[in-house]
Amino acid sequence: MTRGAFVTSRPARVLVIDDDESTRRTFAQMLRLEGHEVRTAQNASAGLDEASLLMPDAIIVDLHMPAMDGLAFVQRLRAQEGAHMTPVAIVTGDYSLKETVSGSLKELGVTLCFKPLWLEDLVKLTSSLLVTDSASRSEPAPIAH
């Protein structure tokens, strides 16, 4: 897999967090077909644990989940040492987000994306997160394929 202008020794690590098993499985399968190493979590709490262990290059998380939503997940993630710069995308089917939620996501540097996500959408989203990750680590920008 190519990241930046150099070939890395490992695929990009992507964490997918969604309480809907079908969505989790579908996103993971599509990203694996693109060559990424993918881990999944069924809720935000498990996602925080996975993020600590995996140290992902990018995270895709659902906004509306029971117990802890995607916004609270990102707030807690940003407080963790070593994870505060991890690129995150929040996906939602809620087209009527409150302005306060949208503002909070923007302040946290989160990419907001609306469902449904087709393969092409998910690939573009993940690529944009990985470009953000490369830039935040002062690596060269990826070359388009």
Tokens of 127: 């690529």
Among 124, 139, 126, 129, residue whose Cα is nearest residue 5? 139
Positions in the chain short of pLDDT 50: 1-7, 137-145
pLDDT the model gives residue 84: 82
Find how far residue 5's CA is from the centre of its chain: 22
Two tokens at 102?
Answer: 């949208």
Quote the percentage of the chain above a pLDDT of 90.
70
pLDDT in the model for residue 135? 57
pTM value is 0.84
Angstrom distance (rounded) from CA 130 to CA 65: 24
Kindly report, residue by residue over 30-47, the tens digit of the pLDDT: 999 999 999 999 999 999
Distance CA 49, CA 14 (A): 14
- Name 31's Cβ contacts closer than 8 Å, sequence gap at least 6: 14, 16, 38, 122, 126
Domains annotated for the chain, with CATH where assigned, are 2-126 (3.40.50.2300)
